[in-house]
Structure 1
């Protein structure tokens, strides 16, 4: 029972299900490339540029060329959430309890991870490593103009990435922007948006769209992000661990009286869940952003 197991590892089955929910809700895990990790740090190499070929005359030596491989190191950081819960939940079995808590844990993890990876909000991965910051550093930013066709703006932000000899292979935005996507047509009068059914991924111009929870998105910075997502990597080296407290004071949550919640006074308890998550971007010019219209 939960009241007899106040700390430990989240049961494997439930931990796997929470992780699947997290990866479904996070735009980064939908679009970025997964990098297997078995410890907190991982060094790996990636192909920065391929080998070249040369025209060769009859009997001439074939010139030698080699690919350029670069090294990168991804460091994971601890991601955590604290959820206050009524005392009645202590009577649940551990598995049943985490069945109930799965949606809340997955949403909290997805929101925090996307905030850091997309916009650098409270990011533990270092300044300038988020997708938006990389796009800004490369100058791959286009201001949206409501008077223009969104199709032309899509073409322009994709061109910004293509100028770096990379291919946009997906977009990320919020569902709030979906209305604009649905109403946009190309120069032939055909819609650019495919509202896929049957669990398939929605697409714009034939490329997948990863939707972000609105709490993860900074509308003052971007309306949509485009990228060659092979240049973003994420890893999850450690499963979830939990701890329960019945007497802590939660300073980051205020009650109806405007004061921090004291669990002992309210006959409640709080669940703390943590896990390790890694993230990194490998270059600047693989990312582009469509920013809000600032025309007065």
Structure 2
């Protein structure tokens, strides 16, 4: 029978089932600002804001003294390899590869969201990026931000109306609030607590979207993410506390180095020929940074 032997990494097409599944599950892949990366690192400018003043006729303009810097995106690799026995693929190679690629895409979507949003530790071994959760827990004197200011932790009985209101209020009170780009990213376990919460007028703060419209909280669209649970390291199956993050999509920076892509290594070549097993390798290389801690808030459920 004919064999499918691929000599190089093959990118997934944008209309492929793998890409569609990733965009359905990963909020970061679907809505973040995508910055092409031609090397392992990329610097994106970050502004600390800019002042403005009234200038009398004939007076000199005052100079702005706000500190400006940049954020660095470093590409990290998310990947996996699967061995497939020749006996299992002789008669159904395309189907086998498609199923494995789709399964990998689902796990990749969850670990990417977890890495970008909810990992509690600083970047290091097992932690590819500074997550939003870690960013909001860290003091940055240059930006005038105190660690923990924009994090609200719900009590043991679950989040209350005040918890949701205080969390979104942390963003609304900041200089980076923009209702046109504001988004809530939450783990689906928040659905249960949201259904019964109403404001002082008796109106529910959570409105389920109909006919293709998104779910909303306080009028802000919600995207649901299975990766939005805290975890000490990046994982596709986080088991910590669920989070709801209020973010600006303008400040979500996703560096795109390559992928998702795959390579099929035929089991009839090289040392794999000794076991009649082919290898399917899948990977994606991404960088991540959130533009400014004052432009986001997190409610820990």
TM-score tier by shorter-chain length is 0.7 to 0.9
Q: How does 1:161-240 map to 2 (within 5 A)?
A: 161-167=171-177, 169-213=182-226, 216=236, 218=238, 220-239=240-259, 240=261
> Given that residues 14 and 20 in structure 2 are in contact (C-alpha distance below 8 angstroms), is that contact kept between their aligned partners in structure 1?
no
Q: Does 1:144 align with 2:154?
A: yes
Q: How far apart, CA to CA, are the structure 2 residues paired with 1:119 and 1:263?
A: 42
Which residue of structure 1 aligns with residue 293 of structure 2?
284
Cα RMSD, aligned residues only = 3.4
> Given that residues 135 and 286 in structure 1 are in contact (C-alpha distance below 8 angstroms), is that contact kept between their aligned partners in structure 2?
no
> Given that residues 79 and 282 in structure 2 are in contact (C-alpha distance below 8 angstroms), is that contact kept between their aligned partners in structure 1?
yes
Which residue of structure 2 aligns with residue 28 of structure 1?
28
1:38-74 Cα offsets, whole Å, 9 max, x none, are 3332223233313x332233x3325244476422321
1:73-100 Cα offsets, whole Å, 9 max, x none, are 2111111023454643354565x65544
Which residue of structure 1 aligns with residue 128 of structure 2?
124
Distance 1:38 1:62, change over 3 A: same
From 276, 282, 294, give the equivalent of 1:273: 282
Q: How does 1:51-66 map to 2 (within 5 A)?
A: 52-57=51-56, 59-66=57-64
Aligned residue for 2:294, secondary structure, equals coil
> Given that residues 31 and 210 in structure 1 are in contact (C-alpha distance below 8 angstroms), is that contact kept between their aligned partners in structure 2?
no
Q: How far apart, CA to CA, are the structure 1 residues paired with 2:264 and 2:185?
A: 34
Which residue of structure 2 aligns with residue 242 of structure 1?
263
Aligned residue for 1:209, secondary structure, equals strand
Aligned residue for 2:127, secondary structure, equals coil
Distance 1:233 1:217, change over 3 A: farther
Structure 2 residue runs of 5 or longer lacking an equivalent are 139-146, 228-234
Which residue of structure 2 aligns with residue 133 of structure 1?
134
> Given that residues 223 and 289 in structure 1 are in contact (C-alpha distance below 8 angstroms), is that contact kept between their aligned partners in structure 2?
yes
Once the two structures are TM-superposed, the CA of residue 222 in structure 1 deviates from its matched residue by 4.0
Once the two structures are TM-superposed, the CA of residue 124 in structure 1 deviates from its matched residue by 2.1
TM-score (norm 1): 0.75
Once the two structures are TM-superposed, the CA of residue 165 in structure 1 deviates from its matched residue by 2.8
Q: How far apart, CA to CA, are the structure 2 residues paired with 1:98 and 1:199?
A: 32
Aligned residue for 2:115, secondary structure, equals helix
Q: How far apart, CA to CA, are the structure 2 residues paired with 1:17 and 1:39?
A: 28
Q: How far apart, CA to CA, are the structure 2 residues paired with 1:141 and 1:217?
A: 23
Q: Does 203-212 or 80-89 show the bigger shift?
A: 80-89
Number of residue-to-residue matches in the alignment: 271
Aligned residue for 2:288, secondary structure, equals strand
Aligned residue for 1:54, secondary structure, equals coil
Once the two structures are TM-superposed, the CA of residue 237 in structure 1 deviates from its matched residue by 1.9
> Given that residues 27 and 210 in structure 1 are in contact (C-alpha distance below 8 angstroms), is that contact kept between their aligned partners in structure 2?
yes
Structure 1 residue runs of 5 or longer lacking an equivalent are 248-261
Q: How far apart, CA to CA, are the structure 2 residues paired with 1:176 and 1:54?
A: 46
Distance 1:11 1:75, change over 3 A: closer
> Given that residues 244 and 270 in structure 1 are in contact (C-alpha distance below 8 angstroms), is that contact kept between their aligned partners in structure 2?
yes
Q: How does 1:36-55 map to 2 (within 5 A)?
A: 36-50=36-50, 52-55=51-54
Q: Larger helix proportion, structure 1 or 2?
A: 1
